[in-house]
Structure 1
Amino acid sequence: MTGTLRWRVALIAVVVFFGLLYMLPSIPGVKESALGKFLPDDEISLGLDLKGGIHLTLGVDVDKAIQNSLALTGRDIREQAREDGIAVLRPGLTDGRHLDFVLAKLDQRQALDEMLKKQFPILTTVSTETVEGDKLLYKMDFTPEYQDYLKKLTIDQAVKTIRNRIDEFGVAEPDIRRQADGRIQVQLPGLQDPDRAIKIIGRTAHLEFKMVDDETDPEKAAKGIVPPGREISAMRHRNPDGSYLDRPIVLKSEAVMTGEYIADARANFDSNNQAYVSLTFTPRGAKLFERITADNVKKRMAIMLDGKVYSAPVIQEKIGGGRASITGRFSTEEARDLAIVLRAGSLPAPVNILEQRAVGPSLGQESIEKGVMAALIGGALIIVFMIVYYGFGGLVADVALAFNIMLIMAGLAGFGATLTLPGIAGIILTLGMAVDANVIIFERVREEIRRGLTPRLALDEGYSRATLTIFDA
């Protein structure tokens, strides 16, 4: 045996060894056997069509994200104008589409325009008009380029947040991908509790801290008598029987803090074994929370999630340490789910479920059985044909074909790829292509033998001359 041949045999042996090593864990019963403790943990993951689960198509409300960003920009304009000594009043989205604010002093128009141009180049002026005789009303919007950027950013953030939530939820091998028109496709193989997963995925989880206005009567506010700068909301109460009751509560419209400052969220239990969610703020958030609580001692602060007040405790003293809690008579599962969505981050915009399909495990098992049967029948026909037509050479080709399939399976397991029904079809196609290559090689070898070459030379020539034909095909 020549040195080159020895290296080839050794290389083949190493490849076959590692192929078997990574393929065996995917064979049912092997991991539970005595051999299992010597094998890697990687197995072939089955896709939605083979394992069952749910398929979701989600729509992201990017227009809502743009509106929210416009509203925040209005607050930034007011703060910057205050620092520059410019009297800007009542920034807000009066028509839901444009940012409106009032310049109280006309002689400050040039200063305001320069500030907007320098500090807020992402805005463009839609119109200006004189109001109340001596004031100027600005209508502004984001530039088209920035709107396109915001839309892309919103969808990208939504994909990332949904992925984080699903990872926290513990679904193996989820498939999450962005589609056209602001849609997101989510496939969750093997999911046992689809309703809970849908609730976690679609929850906006917009967390806000707002001060409570205890001087305004909630009953009157509920009838529409709401003072300026105030809003009516609902405070969530959970009854002992598990039902919920919403009671009106009046809040100051402007949030003093939002969920962007949360570093961690965990479900815990108090001394009465009642579930609650503990929050840990970022360093910046901890300082902000400490300042807010110091300025509002003996006042109530409402903790809002997705527009509902979960609790409104009285601030007894300045709270340092960067920690807070959300109480609300949660069940254990509700507290855990709330912690998941807060820890994974809030969605940048509301997400709607446009399509939902469930694939049962029985359908997946049927797909596996049919796919395996098709592969076995196709493989058996190929093996018989190759042996009958090419004899010993065909047998060698069949062995190589088996190694080929083994390496494909090992690669799927080792790289964490997901096997789907189209994947099984692809493996069957691979069998056909491999056989096609062998047929080309063997026919070329036969031609070389008919030309008078020895079998060894004919084999070398057959492989070398057939290579270009195979690549071309």
Structure 2
Amino acid sequence: MLYIARWKAALILLVCVLGVIFSVPNMLSEEQRSKLPAWMQNTFNLGLELQGGSHLQLEVDMKSVMKDYSENLLDEIRTTLRAEKIGYTSLTLAQDRKGVTFMLRDPSQVSVAKKALRKTTNELNSDFDSSGRVTISLTEEAIEKVQAKALEKSIEVIRRRVDESGTKEPLIQRQGTDRIILQLPGVDNPAEVKRLIGRTAKMEFRLVDHDAGTIQVDASGRPQGGVPLGSEILPETGHRGQDGYVVVKKQVAITGDRLIDAQFEFREAQPGVSISFDAVGAKKFAEITANNVNRQFAIILDGRVISHPNIKAPLLDGHAIISGGFAPKEAQELALLLRAGALPAALNVIEERTVGPSLGADSIQDGQRATLFAFLFVAVFMILNYSLFGAFADIALALNLILLFAALSLLGATLTLPGIAGIALTIGMAVDANVLIYERIKEELRHNMKPVMAIEAGYRKALMTILDSNITTLIGAAVLFEFGSGPIRGFAVTLALGIIISLFTALSLTRLIVIFWARRQRNLTSLPI
């Protein structure tokens, strides 16, 4: 006897009604959606090839990455040698910028130097010769590790900057060992985003060297003269032009890595950026400001001094204001860059192309046409082969598509061109379970089983076959999602959702329709299948 509990029937109908409700916003304009309740405004997003937008291929300057790493290694070695009171000379970077060389003043201290530098050079190649010359170089494994870390950090910083700029659903992925693919759907002119992501935003805080004299410049504006040992000349750049030069200490007091927040604000009617340090940074900042009252503290961004205020009193709470003649938009942009963090190295744009919205519209129309044809062909096939029961499967197929779009909307997923291919494929696969069930019913009827019993047996006996076939396809979709990227993931998402929803429509919805039809029949002796 065909039977389905009332609560199950109610739940199936509720899911179908909710699917219709959550898929409707995708057919409305932005203005119409804004009038709906907030919980009904979710829609799926369109990928680059459907919406139009910009495609950028970026290259991380790995030479700069290795140079910075070697310079940090040099500073660490210098600090260690001084702490252990080991004399040295000629401490410099190796010619290939992938290591450090120096001479020991006393060659007999080779063993002492080895022991002192063991922790620093643990993963590096160290060569100590009898003359006292020491060469420390990076292994290939260490180089790969440093470069991979720089690439990962670049991707992370780019993602934060793009998200802060308001761009929806960007695609950011690595390519090879030093390149990044960035796709920005809906962004026709990527110049603003390129400017944001192209700035390194490396912030440093250093003391101004008051022992240096006035910097003289030649006719071309270049600085002239020497500077005290341990200091260097940096350009002072206001946001409305270059104002001059400032002599600052080479030693970095605090880096921008210690910032935990940066917010745009007005202070005394002037736009500026309020910054906050973490616990370690706040402690350092307090010590520096306490020990250098009435001295100037340079704030340096990407190698240029943007401000060098006078320390009037110790700043003990880890908060400060950066001001430097900013325009409001410039201050907002600086706050964004500081919040997102600094890039480990400069990014170079290797490739740039724009997909026009008209091309995206053509792709959408082609996708809609393909999906419609797939639906019509499958619907006609089912009716021709299974008569009325084929029509039941077609109703479930239509609701399958509605539920699929509702699921994509609730997930905020991005629909790509391969994603549309996944939908078209899902249409064919969605009726696969119905075909198995109906063929099983036909087989039971051929064995002279009563129609009602044949229906029940068909659904029961086909269940395991249906689950096995769909689970294997789900595994394939999961592998595509895990190891694929971009459009491939979009295909995997629509395919997986389509499979899960087709199981619901085939095993629950069509069964409910068949039961409702069968109960309305009197003296059911045959089936229109």
Q: TM bucket by the smaller chain?
A: 0.7 to 0.9
70-79 or 119-128: bigger deviation:
119-128
- Structure 1 contact 53–360 (Cα < 8 Å) conserved: yes
- Structure 1 contact 293–317 (Cα < 8 Å) conserved: yes
2:267 to 252, 266, 270: 270
Partners of 1:455 and 1:376 in 2: CA distance: 34
- Structure 1 contact 44–416 (Cα < 8 Å) conserved: yes
- Structure 1 contact 237–247 (Cα < 8 Å) conserved: no
In the TM superposition, residue 451 of structure 1 has moved relative to its aligned partner by 4.5
Q: Report SS of the residue matched to 1:391.
A: helix
The equivalences for 1:398-409 within 5 A come to 398-409=394-405
Corresponding position of 1:32: 32
1:285 to 268, 281, 303: 281
Equivalent position amino acid for 1:328 in 2: G
Corresponding position of 2:343: 347
- Structure 2 contact 230–250 (Cα < 8 Å) conserved: yes
In the TM superposition, residue 153 of structure 1 has moved relative to its aligned partner by 1.8
In the TM superposition, residue 114 of structure 1 has moved relative to its aligned partner by 0.5
Over the aligned positions, Cα root-mean-square deviation in angstroms equals: 3.0
400-409 or 35-44: bigger deviation:
35-44
Corresponding position of 2:113: 112
Q: Report SS of the residue matched to 2:325.
A: strand
The equivalences for 1:10-159 within 5 A come to 10-28=10-28, 32=32, 36-37=36-37, 39-88=39-88, 91-93=91-93, 95=95, 96-126=97-127, 128=129, 130=131, 136-159=132-155
1:386 aligns with 2:382: yes
Partners of 2:429 and 2:227 in 1: CA distance: 74
- Is the alpha carbon distance of 1:183 and 1:119 closer, same or farther for their aligned partners in structure 2, counting shifts above 3 Å? closer
- Is the alpha carbon distance of 1:327 and 1:449 closer, same or farther for their aligned partners in structure 2, counting shifts above 3 Å? same
TM-score under structure 2 length normalisation: 0.78
Partners of 1:80 and 1:267 in 2: CA distance: 40
Instruction: Give the count of matched residue pairs.
Output: 463
Equivalent position amino acid for 1:78 in 2: R
- Structure 1 contact 75–91 (Cα < 8 Å) conserved: no
Q: Once the two structures are superposed, what CA deviation does each residue of 1:98-122 show, in whole Å capped at 9, x if it has no partner?
A: 2234433434332111111145413
- Structure 2 contact 25–33 (Cα < 8 Å) conserved: no
In the TM superposition, residue 183 of structure 1 has moved relative to its aligned partner by 1.9
Partners of 2:213 and 2:152 in 1: CA distance: 41
- Structure 1 contact 31–39 (Cα < 8 Å) conserved: no
The equivalences for 1:330-345 within 5 A come to 330-345=326-341
- Is the alpha carbon distance of 1:323 and 1:33 closer, same or farther for their aligned partners in structure 2, counting shifts above 3 Å? closer
- Is the alpha carbon distance of 1:316 and 1:104 closer, same or farther for their aligned partners in structure 2, counting shifts above 3 Å? farther
274-283 or 294-303: bigger deviation:
294-303
Equivalent position amino acid for 1:426 in 2: G
1:295 to 291, 304, 308: 291
In the TM superposition, residue 457 of structure 1 has moved relative to its aligned partner by 4.0
Equivalent position amino acid for 1:103 in 2: L
In the TM superposition, residue 363 of structure 1 has moved relative to its aligned partner by 2.7
- Is the alpha carbon distance of 1:39 and 1:75 closer, same or farther for their aligned partners in structure 2, counting shifts above 3 Å? closer
Corresponding position of 1:222: 223
- Structure 1 contact 444–466 (Cα < 8 Å) conserved: no
Q: Once the two structures are superposed, what CA deviation does each residue of 1:417-456 show, in whole Å capped at 9, x if it has no partner?
A: 2111211121111112234554454455445434434333
1:427 to 420, 423, 427: 423
Corresponding position of 1:252: 249
- Is the alpha carbon distance of 1:383 and 1:77 closer, same or farther for their aligned partners in structure 2, counting shifts above 3 Å? same
Q: Report SS of the residue matched to 2:260.
A: strand
Q: Report SS of the residue matched to 1:328.
A: coil
In the TM superposition, residue 205 of structure 1 has moved relative to its aligned partner by 0.9
Partners of 1:277 and 1:39 in 2: CA distance: 36
In the TM superposition, residue 339 of structure 1 has moved relative to its aligned partner by 0.9
Q: Report SS of the residue matched to 2:216.
A: helix
Corresponding position of 1:133: none
- Structure 1 contact 30–36 (Cα < 8 Å) conserved: no
218-227 or 378-387: bigger deviation:
218-227
